[in-house]
Amino acid sequence: MDAIKIFFTEPDSSYQRTFRFYSIFLFLAIIASISKVWGTGTQGIFVILVIVFALYLVNNFVDNSQTELSDFNSEIYIKLQELQAKVNDHIEYKVKLTNISGMQLPKQDHQRLMDINRLDSLYIDASLIQFLHSIITLYEYNPDEYYMLVKGTNNILKIRKQIEEYYNSNSVSETVPSESASYVAQKNSELVSFRDHPKPRQEPVYTENLAEMFEIAINLKANCVNNLQNMIYKVPKTNKLYDYIDTCIDRYIILINRNLQTISDYHLNAIRDTGINTRTKFVYFKGTKPFDALRDQNVVLNKSLEQRNSLYDLYV
C-alpha cells in the first residue's frame, strides 16, 4: 500500500486532487459491486477481506498511473532537450559563419549567447513541446524560421511565467516577528511600539505593466504564426505539404491562444482589483485592433480637405 500512502501525502495540486477523487470513487465502486453480488449480510471477516482487496486494486491503479505519469514527464523532458539541441545547433552554425567572415566571437560572448537562447520557459506547456517536436523535421527545410518559432514561443511562455511569479511573490504574508521576552513583558503592561506588532497580510497584486506585457505576447504570437507560414517557401512544392503547413498553423494558433487566454484572464483580474482609472489600458487579443495612424491605411474620407482615402487601387 505504499503507492496510496505516498500519493495521498504529496503536496496538493489540481491533478492530485482530481486523481484522488477518482481513486476514492474506484475504491467505493469496488466495495459496492462486491456487496451487490454477495449481499450486505456477510461476516465481519468477509468485509475485511473485501476492503483489503479493494485497497489492493486501488494501490495497483495508483502505482500504474504514477508510472505512466513519470514516463510521460520523461518523454516531455527528452523532447524539450531535443528542441534545445536544435536551437544550440542553429546558434553554433551562426557563430561559425561569423568566424568564417573574420569576426572571432569571444568565449564570454559565446556563452552569453547560449544562455540567452536557453528554452527556460517552454516547460510550462507540455502541449506546445509536443507540437514543436512533432514538426521538428521542418528545421531541415528552414532553420531560421523554425528557430524563431521556437524562440518566440518560449518568450510568450516566459511572459506568462513572469506574471505568475510576480503575483505569487506578492501573495506571501510578511514575516511576523517572534515574541521576545521583552515584548511579552511589555505586552500586558504598556503600549508596544508599532514596529513590534505583526504586519497584516499583503494582498497579492499584478505587475503594473501587465497590459504592455500582454501586447508584447500578442505581437510575438503574430510573428510566430508568420514564421510557421514562411516555412512554405522552403518545403517541397507539393499540395500535401501545403496542407500540412496549414494544419500546423491552425493547431499552433489553438495551443498558443490557450496561454494568451490565461494572460488575458490575469489582465482582466488586475483591472478588477485596481479599478478603472485614467491609466487603465484594455487589451483584447481575439478582436480587431484599433486604428493606428502610423501603421494602418486610412479608410475614412476626409471631406474637409477633399482628399481620397488611402486605400490602394485594386485592378482585376
Look at residue 237 in the predicted model and tell me its pLDDT.
87
Residue-wise pLDDT for 209-247, tens only, equals 899 999 999 999 999 999 999 998 888 888 998 899 999
Q: Does position 252 have pLDDT exceeding 70, yes or no?
A: yes
Q: Does position 155 have pLDDT exceeding 70, yes or no?
A: yes
Q: Measured between alpha carbons, how far is 239 from 230 in angstroms, rounded to an integer?
A: 16
Q: What is the largest CA-CA distance in the chain?
A: 98
Q: Which three cell numbers stand for residue 195?
A: 514596529
Q: Does position 316 have pLDDT exceeding 80, yes or no?
A: no
Task: Count CB atoms within 10 A of the CB of residue 121.
Answer: 17
Angle at the Cα of 45 from the Cα atoms of 40 and 51, rounded to 5 degrees: 70
* Cα 267 from chain centre: 15
Helix axes 143-169, 44-100, angle to 10 degrees: 130
**Among the residues of 230-283, which ranges form H helices?**
239-274
> Which residues make Cβ contacts (< 8 Å) with residue 267, sequence separation at least 6?
210, 211, 214, 283
> Which residues make Cβ contacts (< 8 Å) with residue 309, sequence separation at least 6?
297, 298, 299, 300, 301, 302
- Top pLDDT among 242 and 25 is at 242
- Top pLDDT among 279 and 202 is at 279
* Cα 204 from chain centre: 20
Task: Name the percent of the chain lying above pLDDT 90.
Answer: 34
Q: Measured between alpha carbons, how far is 134 from 112 in angstroms, rounded to an integer?
A: 29
